[in-house]
Amino acid sequence: MLNFHYSIPTEIFFGKNQIEVLGTEIKKYGSKVLLTYGGGSIKKTGLYDKIVQILKDQNIEFRELGGIDPNPRIDSVREGIQICKDSGIDFILAVGGGSTIDCSKAIAAGYFYDGDPWDLVIGKATIKKALPLGTVLTIAATGSEMDSAAVITNPETNQKLVFGHPAMAPEFSILDPTYTFTVPAKQTAAGVVDIMSHTFESYFTRTKGAYLPDRLAEAILKTCINYGQLAVTEPENYEARANLMWASSLAINGLLGYGKDAIWSVHPIEHELSAYYDITHGIGLAILTPPWMEYVLDDERVDKFVEYGVNVWDIDQNQDKYAIAHEAIDKTKQYFASLGMPLTLKEVGIGEDNLEKMAKAAVDHNNGTVGNFKPLSYEDVLNIYKKAL
């Protein structure tokens, strides 16, 4: 186990009716709010009306930025910053999923930067501080509600990049699993795959002796496997939605990575897919994860796959290591298929056209090598895309 500094500052209010704390929580940080949301699901579900009522009842002034797209665009960030500057906003309330929350984090950081906020995303300028932000989560997936990262897309340059700063972590997040009852099956499934992928990124490392983080990771994977299908087939199953919602936050808030040397592999490869083709992040991960696993499986890494197969999939350990590893990968693939996820690039309309460009971008955006479980070169990334066709 490696040294670490534990710091997970976001307060979580978890469970039914926790929205009751919203007014009191906002008033700790500000008095003029920018309310951000996506394409309108919160209006359909009635959550928008509920939140607006709370803000009015508590005499909290607010402005709005709606219409934030999945895979949020830098243009929405620019628009949000302008509203904040014009209206003297001192707090941002993001109501939605990872896209709305990420866009809001970028607005919060961009507010204190005089240039174009894209400079912050590409690392041309450094983030010094951010407006305080709170979230009301409506989909279990990215964990953005409890981490300090954001992923923003620039369609003009075909770039979808991760950036972050401790100041971008939400001050608080309200996690009411009933708000996720209306998430469509496809998005529910994509969210489950995303949670599993975040867990894999911290689990599949070469750090030795990180027994506790690895068991925590396995518990999250088992939770996803246990409840994923249930949430798809019974969208109003509270137990399933609640377990997945908490798994979403725990998979990426830092907990699983503490004590481990984890440089992520599949996420950087997926981000190029959504940058070029605007596909749903979790779907891209479902397509790429099994080929990545097969590609990196070798003598140096096989024991980790055995650990995964035996502890997560309950595969009989009294057999050849590679047989266990292949069965574990196969079970992962079958599980994604059982959730209704596509498993090939062709199924989502992606052919060979941009594979080379995407592979080059993936390594360029990651200082020449992707991941460190097995460090991946340009050729490796290209081979993984080809295996996923």
Residues at the site binding ligand NZQ, with contacts judged by CB under 6 A: 38-42, 45, 70-71, 96-100, 102, 138-139, 141-144, 147, 149-151, 179-180, 182-183, 187, 191, 194, 252, 267, 281
Closer residue to Zn ion (CB): 25 or 272: 272
Closer residue to ligand NZQ (CB): 201 or 380: 201
Tell me which of Zn ion, ligand NZQ, none is bound by residue 149, counting a contact when its beta carbon lies within the kind-specific cut-off of 5 to 8 angstroms.
ligand NZQ
Exposure letters 298-327 (e unless 16+ CB within 10 A, then b): eeebbebbbbbbebbbebeeeeeeeebbbb
Closer residue to ligand NZQ (CB): 249 or 311: 249
Closer residue to ligand NZQ (CB): 45 or 158: 45
Distance of closest approach, residue 162 Cβ to ligand NZQ, in angstroms: 7
3 state SS of 36 = strand
- Whole-angstrom CA distances from 24 to 177, 216, 324 are 21, 33, 52
How are the residues of the chain apportioned to helix, strand and coil, as percentages rounded to the nearest 5? 55, 10, 35
Tell me which of Zn ion, ligand NZQ, none is bound by residue 39, counting a contact when its beta carbon lies within the kind-specific cut-off of 5 to 8 angstroms.
ligand NZQ
Measured from the Cβ of residue 173, the count of other Cβ atoms closer than 10 Å reads 24
Distance of closest approach, residue 373 Cβ to Zn ion, in angstroms: 16
Distance of closest approach, residue 298 Cβ to Zn ion, in angstroms: 25
Tell me which of Zn ion, ligand NZQ, none is bound by residue 309, counting a contact when its beta carbon lies within the kind-specific cut-off of 5 to 8 angstroms.
none
With a CB cutoff of 8 Å and minimum separation 6, the contacts of 339 are 189, 192, 193, 228, 229, 232, 286
Closer residue to ligand NZQ (CB): 151 or 250: 151
What tokens appear for 46 in the block? 């009635």
- Whole-angstrom CA distances from 236 to 170, 183, 241, 273, 277 are 27, 10, 8, 32, 32
With a CB cutoff of 8 Å and minimum separation 6, the contacts of 224 are 192, 195, 196, 199, 244, 247
Tell me which of ligand NZQ, Zn ion, none is bound by residue 304, counting a contact when its beta carbon lies within the kind-specific cut-off of 5 to 8 angstroms.
none
Strand partners, 175: 14
Amino acid at residue number 24: T
Cβ-based burial of 149 (10 A; exposed 0-12, middle 13-18, buried ≥19) = middle
CA dihedral for 81, 84, 90, 94, sign (positive or negative):
negative
CA distance 267 to 194: 9
Distance of closest approach, residue 339 Cβ to ligand NZQ, in angstroms: 14
Element (DSSP H or E) covering residue 57: helix 47-57
Closer residue to ligand NZQ (CB): 21 or 149: 149
Distance of closest approach, residue 130 Cβ to ligand NZQ, in angstroms: 14
Closer residue to ligand NZQ (CB): 187 or 223: 187
In 276-371, which ranges are E strands?
none
What tokens appear for 157 in the block? 């340059």
Distance of closest approach, residue 58 Cβ to ligand NZQ, in angstroms: 23
Listed residue (24, 92, 18, 19) closest to 58, CA to CA: 24
Distance of closest approach, residue 279 Cβ to Zn ion, in angstroms: 13
> In the complex, which residue's CB is closest to Zn ion?
194
Tell me which of ligand NZQ, Zn ion, none is bound by residue 179, counting a contact when its beta carbon lies within the kind-specific cut-off of 5 to 8 angstroms.
ligand NZQ
Tell me which of Zn ion, ligand NZQ, none is bound by residue 275, counting a contact when its beta carbon lies within the kind-specific cut-off of 5 to 8 angstroms.
none
Site string for Zn ion, 157-196 (x = CB under 5 A): -------------------------------------x--
Tell me which of ligand NZQ, Zn ion, none is bound by residue 144, counting a contact when its beta carbon lies within the kind-specific cut-off of 5 to 8 angstroms.
ligand NZQ
Tell me which of ligand NZQ, Zn ion, none is bound by residue 370, counting a contact when its beta carbon lies within the kind-specific cut-off of 5 to 8 angstroms.
none
Measured from the Cβ of residue 208, the count of other Cβ atoms closer than 10 Å reads 9
Tell me which of Zn ion, ligand NZQ, none is bound by residue 170, counting a contact when its beta carbon lies within the kind-specific cut-off of 5 to 8 angstroms.
none
Distance of closest approach, residue 323 Cβ to ligand NZQ, in angstroms: 32
Distance of closest approach, residue 198 Cβ to ligand NZQ, in angstroms: 6
Site string for Zn ion, 192-231 (x = CB under 5 A): --x-------------------------------------
CA distance 67 to 76: 8
Residues that bind Zn ion (CB under 5 A): 194
